[in-house]
Structure 1
Amino acid sequence: MTIHVNKVHHVTTLTQVAKDLGEDEDWLRDVASKMEIEDSVIWVYDVGEDGVQALTHFGIET
């Protein structure tokens, strides 16, 4: 029996990644929109929000 274990312990929103990299947030959103789940881009949902895109460390490196 194989059990999947999630090894992601945190994600960073695209807004924060753009700030950290000194890049334009709209440009980064365009790049992220072309990324696949395998590239470690995900959506994070919270109460009362539509959700925001976020990246794992691997996604930021990608």
Structure 2
Amino acid sequence: MELDTAIQGPGRLIVQTNKVHHVFTIDRVARDLGENEEWLAEIANEMEPEDGLIWVYPFNDDGVMAFTEFGIENLRESIAIHRDRAK
């Protein structure tokens, strides 16, 4: 995740802003990677926000797992690790 640092006001407060401008929901990622969505969710449950996993809450309050580009790369690495363990 990229962070931008800006200097603000007379006290020179440093503010970091997140540059993530889009995410991909787990169903989209599963389709794009050709993987089972439930299996990916099990793997992604091990990820943290700093790994590129976020939760999106639509109006109905059911959370939807989503990933930044960085998160998708981390998920791909996790998939490879899980497949190696299964051998």
- The answer, yes or no, to whether TM exceeds 0.5 is yes
Unmatched 5+ residue regions in structure 1?
none
TM-score normalised by the chain length of structure 2: 0.68
TM-score normalised by the chain length of structure 1: 0.93
Count residues with an aligned counterpart: 62
Higher RCO (C-alpha 8 Å, min separation 6)? 1
Q: Percent identity?
A: 55
The 5-angstrom pairing of residues 42-61 of structure 1 reads 42-61=54-73
Find 1:5's aligned residue among 9, 17, 20: 17
The 5-angstrom pairing of residues 34-45 of structure 1 reads 34-45=46-57
Unmatched 5+ residue regions in structure 2?
1-12, 75-87
Q: Where does structure 1 differ by over 3 angstroms across 4 or more consecutive aligned residues? A: none
In the alignment, the residues of structure 2 paired with residue 48 and residue 36 of structure 1 have an alpha-carbon distance, to the nearest angstrom, of 24
- TM-superposed CA distance for 1:5, in Å, is 0.8
- TM-superposed CA distance for 1:49, in Å, is 3.5
Whether 1:16 and 2:16 are equivalent positions in the alignment is: no
Which has more radius of gyration?
Answer: 2
In the alignment, the residues of structure 1 paired with residue 48 and residue 60 of structure 2 have an alpha-carbon distance, to the nearest angstrom, of 26
